[in-house]
Copies of this chain bind each other. A is one copy, B any other.
Amino acid sequence: MKKLLVFGVGLIGGSLALALKAANAGWHVTGIGRTGDSLQEALTLGIIDEAATDIATALKGVDVIMIATPVAQIGPILQRIAPHLEDKTIITDAGSTKADIANEAHKLLGNAASRFVPGHPIAGAEKSGPSAAQATLYKNKNVVLTPDGRTDPGAVQIVRELWLSTGAIVREMSPEGHDTIFAAVSHLPHLLAFALVDELAARPDAEQFFEFAASGFRDFTRIAGSSPEMWRDISLANRTALLQELDRYQSALNQLRQSLEHGDAASLQATFERASQARNAWAQHSPSALWKN
């Protein structure tokens, strides 16, 4: 049996453990954490084979360490594991931003940095915690790995195979390419939705507005119900790319405002048409569109 040590046995780490178990992929999974509650729950649910709290002991003989915690905790964990890493141990993560984490790994892990393979599984759910974990979460979902020239190809291969056993599609790109794409299709939309709901909620007559909001508003603002701490940390970790995407968006929005102000029907329609065609084409063809329109 190969040994996998998982920091964070919630939706992301727990689903990985369950998927490996379901695939009979030959992994013994240990969960580790500071508080016992999640670990105990993960044990009870059969997600992990073993629970650990002491890092030095837990790192003995480990083949792969998966850090599946919120992004802000990844740096501190790298720092704590660094002194105890064995030569064979490969490290990977599941954080939503990559350039900052890759940089921290190079600073904190010394020689072992070549065995750190930054990763990001593109799968989420509205629920979190061990009870939300499911063996099929990653089936046909993209998992992005962002090794660079300094990363050991053998380490990349092992992390790739780990994810392939869960049914995921494994992709590779640079940390910066990853951060730009996710700033555009995920982090920026969150920022926009948070800003809209906060602006409405701050009004003295907010209740009247919310009272008449319907299904379009519900879908548009669903991501504004996400964890404030998690999105604070993602926004800050990916600040550079996110500011660039925000600039592009604000400039596009200004142009649309001009068209509206001038009553330019043709220009409004052209924008709406391009958007609606692109959105509907995407919804028909994207893998994530298949399981829920």
Contacts and interface: CB of A to CB of B under 8 A. Distances in A.
Interface of A: 122-124, 141-142, 144, 181-182, 184-186, 188-202, 206, 208-229, 231-232, 235-236, 239, 242-243, 246, 248-250, 252-254, 256-257, 260-261, 263, 265, 268-269, 271-280, 282-283, 286, 288-289, 292-293
Given A273-B228, A276-B227, A283-B225, A124 B215 contact: yes
Contact of A219 (B214, B219, B228): B219
Given A239-B260, A243-B257, A286-B211, A271 B124 contact: no
Contact of A192 (B196, B222, B229): B196
A186 B253 contact: no
A213 B268 contact: no
Contacts of A282: 210, 213
B279 A224 contact: yes
A193 B228 CA distance: 22
25 contacts: A123-B214, A185-B200, A189-B221, A192-B196, A193-B275, A194-B272, A194-B275, A195-B275, A196-B249, A197-B274, A198-B278, A210-B286, A214-B288, A216-B222, A218-B289, A218-B292, A222-B279, A225-B280, A225-B283, A228-B276, A232-B268, A236-B263, A239-B261, A246-B257, A250-B254
A26 B41 CA distance: 60
Given A273-B228, A279-B224, A282-B210, A189 B215 contact: no
Q: How many copies does the complex hold?
A: 2
A250 B252 contact: no
Contact of A278 (B200, B248, B273): B200
Nearest to A255: B195
Q: Which 4 A-B pairs have the closest CB atoms?
A: A228-B272, A201-B278, A197-B275, A199-B252
A189 B195 contact: no
A175 to B, nearest CB: 14
Nearest to A178: B212
A257 to B, nearest CB: 6
Contacts of A186: 213-214, 216-217
B220 A219 contact: yes
A274 B220 contact: no
Contact of A209 (B184, B206, B280): B184
A239 B262 CA distance: 10
Nearest to A182: B212
A254 B228 CA distance: 19
Nearest to A291: B215
